[in-house]
Amino acid sequence: MNFETPVEPEKKPKRHMSTGQRLLFFLTAWLICLMPFLFWWNTWFGRQLTDKELVEYLNDEKKPRHIQHALVQLGERMGKHDVDVTRWYPELIRLATHHVEEVRIPVLALFGGADGMIPAEDIETFRAALTRNDVPHEIEVYPGAPHSFFDRKQEAFAAESADAWERTLAFLAARGGS
């Protein structure tokens, strides 16, 4: 019989990260999480802008994306029937003539002829500014139709709504949209 004492395997000393290595590890992990958020936050058009930020963004000549962001916000406000958005219409007309190409995009504008918030003179000023600056545009005024006839008064203005919908689909399809 062999009564040998069992030999325990040699224990290797545990390697510990130094404080500097730990700090670097956590800083790197933190940046990996933070950087995508910061990128998203600075480029996401869904982030709501205050009225003060809208003014700043609409006049930021150095960052066309700020102008685009503000325009998206104004479009969303129009979609929610925010009557205060009409105060921004002069800015929209000004931006239709903007010298930076990223700001000038094809325009489809569908107006109710009986819209008390958008006078016919403003529509014509808008049309003239777009034409003068070679901005591709299509403007249609539906006589007798009120503001937001396309959604809130769709039954009463079924023919106008159907035409507006067809124009919207054609406008998007011509630009690669679906």
| Structure confidence at residue 53 as a pLDDT band (50, 70, 90) | very high
- The DSSP code sequence of 104-128 is ---EEEEEETT-SSS-HHHHHHHHH
pLDDT digits 0-9 by tens, 79-129: 777 888 888 888 887 787 677 666 667 889 999 999 888 888 888 988 888
Using CB atoms within 10 A of its CB, is residue 86 exposed (0-12), middle (13-18) or buried (19+)?
middle
Tell me how far apart the alpha carbons of residues 1 and 35 are, in angstroms, rounded to a whole number.
67
Predicted confidence (pLDDT) at residue 6 exceeds the cutoff of 60: yes
**Which secondary-structure segment (H or E) carries 139?**
strand 137-142
Assess whether pLDDT exceeds 60 at residue 177: yes
Task: Specify the DSSP class assigned to residue 4.
Answer: P
Q: Is the pLDDT of residue 178 over 60?
A: no
State how far the Cα of 99 lies from the Cα of 159, in Å rounded to an integer: 37
Q: Which long-range contacts (CB under 8 A, 24 or more apart) does 70-74 make?
A: 71/95, 71/103, 72/45, 73/45, 73/48, 73/49
- Per residue, the 3-state secondary structure of 45-91, as one string, reads CCCCCCHHHHHHHHCCCCCHHHHHHHHHHHHHHHHCCCHHHHHHHHH
- What are 15-37's pLDDT values in tens digits? 787 888 889 988 898 888 888 87
pLDDT number for residue 163: 93
Whole-number average pLDDT of the chain: 82
For the segment 59-81, what is each residue's pLDDT rounded down to a tens digit? Answer: 888 888 888 888 888 888 877 77
The three-state secondary structure class of 17 is coil
| Coil/strand/helix, residue 9 | coil
pLDDT of residue 66: 86
